[in-house]
Amino acid sequence: AYRSQANEKWLKAQGRVSRIHRKKPRGKPMPDHVRRANATKSKIRARVVERVRPILGQVADTVRSLRSPKKLLQLFGGNLATQLLFAVALGLCLRAFGGSLNLATLLTVYVASALFGGMMPVPGGVGVMEAALTAGLVAAGIGSTTSAATALVFRLVTFYLPPLWGWLSLRWLRHHDYL
């Protein structure tokens, strides 16, 4: 039981008080509305615990694995490499239209645009990322038409075309009975 004596003792030792259930008044029967409220709270808590416990287990596994320096290096190194590769791709798209910026500026423009695009409630940041990339490139001193063209080509190459290549690969794999 959630309101067991062991739980009460532990809460008291921690300097805490359970506010989930109300106690029965000493020497009196528990009022019916309090009993129903406690039962409802127990049902709600059981549902929440049922859904949250597996997630907490996964979080605990992740935290345990992050204690390894190798895993941390893989996580942060992989993320850094991804950001650098996207910034380089943005720079190559910009160079295709005759512009150029240093890697630090390209990285700043890409990361800021990705963060902005990720915050908007639009799947994949469609439209938002393009606008943010264009605004970032214009702020970095690139002309507006070159910035817009660069943003559209960059998104075409990094976001819109990869699913097409994946679909074609999947068809080929299925055709040759690999899947």
pLDDT digits (tens, 9 = 90+) for 3-51: 667 777 888 898 887 777 777 778 888 888 888 887 888 788 788 888 8
Dmax over CA atoms of the chain, in Å, equals 86
Tell me the one-letter amino acid at 178.
Answer: Y
pLDDT digits (tens, 9 = 90+) for 134-166: 999 999 999 999 999 999 999 999 999 999 999
Task: Name the strand (E) or helix (H) holding 167.
Answer: helix 162-175
Contacts 24+ apart (CB under 8 A), 100-104: 101/137, 101/140, 101/141, 101/142
Q: Is the pLDDT of residue 110 over 90?
A: yes
CA dihedral sign of residues 160, 161, 164, 166 = negative
3-class DSSP assignment, residue 123: helix
CA distance 140 to 9: 62
CA distance 113 to 87: 11
Its pTM stands at 0.65
Nearest to 163 by CA among 118, 136, 138, 126: 126
Distance of CA 60 to the CA centre of its chain: 17
